[in-house]
Amino acid sequence: MGRNVACGLLVGALAGATPAVAQPVAPIATVGLLCVGGCPAPPFEVGLPVFVTTLRSAGYVDGQNVLLDTRGIGDTPEQLPMLATRLLRRKVDVVVAIGVAAVLAVKRATATVPIVMLDVPNALELGLVASLARPGGNVTGVTFPLAELTAKHMELLKQIAPARTSVSVLWNPATVYADLARRHAEAAGRSVGLRVRHVEMRDAGHLDRLLAPVTGERGSALLVVEDQSVSGTWRSGINLFALKERLPVIAWSRAFAAGGALMSYGPDRTEMHRLAGTTVAKILQGKRPADIPVEQPTRYQLVVNLATAKAIGATIQPSVLAGADEVIE
């Protein structure tokens, strides 16, 4: 079953089945979904039911008075301009763009169709909006602060591995926010006494070579700055390398911890998709994205993988476990 067909079936199931004898109601609006490299796999599949339910609670039911167009879901970032154009040619009323690259792709293609961003750090610093309170233009949605998130990552690493003296920050230099991530990582590392090494993740086909400088460094830890490539294509390879080298890893999304990383700490995906659904509903009700404040998540989730902790010989303090939202055993 194709990716878009499967996603459409999921949306239809969540919205509620229409009896076979009923006549379909022509949708009055179309919402296009634009993302790559992790859709509809986690984290998207976690948030999609919440997004659909939020729209429904506002009176918009897929297949009745709104249509969710999933033909903007692809596999690689290189596809984003083509996928954005495809959605716009279908005259969608709103585009939900997941990730910075997706937002930029559709923003370059239209200055009029409303764009609701999701999974985007530091939207203001990246120039995606004029301000959080009054974004201006055609982009609004959900963003989260990268500096605070990175500082928390460093704090957690130092707390669970106080003997570690350095942290290797894994990031994709092609990511738009790469320079921001680099600066925030260096500042956060200094604040907790960790020496920061930068590892540029350029080619998933040569992961072992890229991570070679970290090999054998028992005094190090890994911090993953996520984007579509790092989160999707490279996640399993990074986790396997860390297990082999007995290195603690922390990342943004739960998918990393579920896949073998020691910890993840990041914005609550459920809340972010609910906020995005609320924003889309406001646009469908006639509000301009320029006047809809950009939302920021208020809830963050800490996930600890105890099985990984045992495998790499890490001791998780009771205080960390007590503050965890989920413990994987």
6-39 per-position pLDDT tens digit: 344 344 434 444 444 444 445 689 999 998 865 5
**Per the structure block, which two tokens stand in for 222?**
């890994």
Q: Which of 314, 171, 195, 151 is nearest to 245 (CA)?
A: 314
Indicate the range of 2-16, 151-165, 196-210 predicted with least confidence.
2-16
pLDDT at 90: 93
Indicate the range of 19-23, 62-66, 213-217, 286-290 predicted with least confidence.
19-23
Domains and CATH numbers, the chain: 3-144+269-298 (3.40.50.2300), 146-266+301-328 (3.40.50.2300)
- pTM comes to 0.86
Residues 31, 73: contact at Cβ < 8 Å? no
Instruction: Name the amino acid, one letter, at 33.
Output: L
Measured in degrees and rounded to the nearest 5, phi and psi for residue 155 equal -60, -45
Measured in degrees and rounded to the nearest 5, phi and psi for residue 302 equal -105, 125
Q: What is the mean pLDDT of residues 281-292?
A: 97
CB atoms within 10 A of CB 208: 12
pLDDT digits (tens, 9 = 90+) for 298-324: 999 999 999 999 999 998 999 999 999
Measured in degrees and rounded to the nearest 5, phi and psi for residue 281 equal -60, -40
Q: Which of 14, 15, 73 is nearest to 44 (CA)?
A: 73
